[in-house]
């Protein structure tokens, strides 16, 4: 079944089917309950809009969450119309959510430029060549993933002196920590030195991007901003604006609440951090303990893993069409949402302000980690959990005993 709330299935026996991932290129659907905003402009306003597009703000996003937070940033700072460049990934679920978020961005009056940035060997050259004029004219660059090699390369081509980083989830916490320490930008879950042949080729671009994202000395012309809902201790010179999800709350909800609990999935198995068997055992225990009936899958979770999880737990697996903040705000949603350490333990309490929904986070036990997990993994995950505000923390021993 397909709906604005996600694609779902209700397993009743072993081998129950998990809903298929969306195919690439599926057009965005209109969102029920969200009126399309028509912008009727005079010729003078159209001319001003063209000037803004030519010399204004250029945003680069590669995930639905980045695009959501770009819309939140534009709302918070009352930014003029901006041009959003979607550097489309391969993953079908991510592409589907991005297309729906792109529709919302257009409804807000922004220009969306979809780039098949990874569509073959020549795609990067075509993309960079096509974006070069926009990069040279832009006065401000907004980006969602400073770790992205694509974004790091594009940053070397821009003359913009105003850079803004919007949340890419919990990765923002690691980015700020590395920036403050003057370290190379490396994702927290990567194992090893990150010095393979490709890394060495791209190292000069990464170094340039890090310099561009380092605040200029006091009185300098370059500014660096951060728009985040994460608990970060930004280095001196980085201007922080808090993301309170005001746009989400204004546009959606409040949600209708159900009696059962919901579980939020994670891609920690897919990234090689957590053992799959241990993960499924934990989900089964959480469902039994808290009376959960639905499992909201992360967009990167594999279909095979979800099929096994559905068969073993009896949970209804839902593949959301939009970021979970929007899904939860629109409802229906459980009165209790249980998550593993992830972005949503920080963002859902903000998106659901004024409702009776409670958010709980389940710790990752050290015995769940794989042999290939990064040495930094446990500390990072503990930090994500420990810094979450307005959530209930489920201790490992207590949870397993009651499960």
Q: pLDDT digit string (tens) for 113-145?
A: 999 988 888 888 899 899 999 999 999 999 999
The last residue of one of the domains, among 208, 243, 278, is 243
Among 65-74, 120-129, 172-181, 389-398, top mean pLDDT goes to: 65-74
Q: Is the pLDDT of residue 194 over 80?
A: no
- 79 and 147 co-located in one domain: yes
Q: Is the pLDDT of residue 31 over 70?
A: no
The dihedral built from the CA positions of residue 221, 58, 238 and 74, taken in this order, carries a sign that is: positive
Question: Which DSSP symbol is given to 369?
Answer: B
127 vs 140: CA distance, rounded Å: 19
- Is 5 in a helix, a strand, or coil? coil
- The parent domain of residue 390 ranges over 250-402
- 110 and 149 co-located in one domain: yes
Residue 7 lies in a domain: no
Residue 36 lies in a domain: no
- 326 and 219 co-located in one domain: no
The last residue of one of the domains, among 194, 219, 243, is 243
How do strand 292-296 and strand 2-3 relate by DSSP bridges?
unpaired
The last residue of one of the domains, among 243, 271, 302, is 243
Backbone phi, then psi, for 257, in 5-degree steps?
Answer: -100, 140
- 305 and 181 co-located in one domain: no
- 71 and 49 co-located in one domain: yes
Least-confidence region, from 54-58, 87-91, 195-199: 195-199
Domain count along the chain: 2
Share of the chain above pLDDT 70, in %: 79
- 56 and 176 co-located in one domain: yes
Residue 139 lies in a domain: yes
- 171 and 296 co-located in one domain: no
Higher-pLDDT residue of 183 and 302 is 302
- 93 and 208 co-located in one domain: yes
- 85 and 182 co-located in one domain: yes
Least-confidence region, from 3-7, 20-24, 192-196, 386-390: 20-24
- 176 and 126 co-located in one domain: yes
- 283 and 375 co-located in one domain: yes
Residue 83 lies in a domain: yes
The CATH number given to whatever domain includes residue 72 is 3.40.50
Residue 133 lies in a domain: yes
Q: Is the pLDDT of residue 396 over 70?
A: no
Confirm if 105 and 75 have CB atoms less than 8 A apart: no
Residue 35 lies in a domain: no
Reduced DSSP (H G I as helix, E B as strand, rest coil) percent helix, strand, coil of the chain, to 5? 40, 20, 40
- Mean pLDDT computed over 183-196: 60
Residue 106, number of CB atoms within 10 A of its CB: 16
- 285 and 210 co-located in one domain: no
Q: Is the pLDDT of residue 189 over 70?
A: no
Residue 302 lies in a domain: yes
Residue 10 lies in a domain: no
């Amino acid at each position: 079944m397909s709906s604005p709330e996600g694609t779902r299935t209700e397993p009743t026996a072993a081998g129950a089917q998990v809903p298929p991932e969306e195919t690439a290129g599926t057009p965005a659907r209109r969102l029920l309950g969200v009126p399309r905003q028509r912008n009727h402009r005079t010729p003078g306003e159209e001319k001003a809009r063209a000037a803004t597009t030519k010399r204004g703000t250029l945003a680069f996003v590669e995930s639905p969450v980045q695009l959501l937070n770009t819309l939140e940033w534009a709302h918070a700072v009352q930014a003029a119309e901006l041009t959003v460049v979607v550097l489309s990934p391969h993953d079908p679920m991510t592409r589907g959510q991005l297309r729906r978020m792109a529709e919302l961005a257009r409804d807000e009056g922004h220009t969306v430029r979809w780039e098949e940035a990874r569509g073959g060997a020549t795609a990067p050259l075509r993309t960079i060549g096509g974006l070069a004029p926009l990069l040279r004219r832009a006065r401000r660059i907004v980006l969602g993933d400073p770790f992205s090699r694509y974004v790091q390369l594009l940053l070397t081509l821009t003359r913009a002196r105003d850079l803004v980083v919007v949340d890419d989830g919990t990765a923002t916490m690691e980015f700020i920590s590395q920036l403050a320490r003057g370290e190379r930008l490396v994702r927290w879950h990567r194992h090893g030195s990150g010095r393979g042949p490709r890394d060495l080729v791209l190292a000069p671009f990464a170094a340039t991007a890090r310099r561009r994202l380092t605040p200029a000395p006091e009185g300098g012309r370059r500014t660096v901003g951060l728009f985040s809902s994460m608990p970060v201790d930004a280095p001196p010179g980085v201007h922080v604006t808090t993301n309170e999800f005001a746009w989400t709350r204004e546009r959606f909800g409040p949600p209708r609440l159900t009696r059962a609990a919901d579980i939020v999935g994670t891609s920690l198995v897919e990234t090689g951090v957590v053992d799959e068997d241990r993960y499924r055992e934990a989900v089964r225990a959480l469902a039994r303990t808290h009376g959960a009936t639905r499992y909201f899958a992360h967009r990167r979770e594999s279909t095979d893993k979800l099929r096994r999880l559905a068969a073993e737990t009896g949970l209804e697996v839902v593949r959301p069409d939009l970021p979970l903040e929007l899904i939860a705000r629109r409802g229906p949603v459980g009165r209790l949402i249980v998550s593993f350490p992830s972005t949503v333990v920080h963002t859902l309490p903000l998106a659901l302000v004024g409702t009776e929904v409670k958010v709980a986070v389940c710790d990752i036990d050290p015995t769940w980690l794989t042999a290939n997990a990064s040495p930094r993994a446990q500390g990072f995950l503990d930090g994500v959990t420990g810094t979450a505000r307005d959530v209930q923390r489920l201790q490992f021993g207590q949870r397993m005993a009651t499960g």
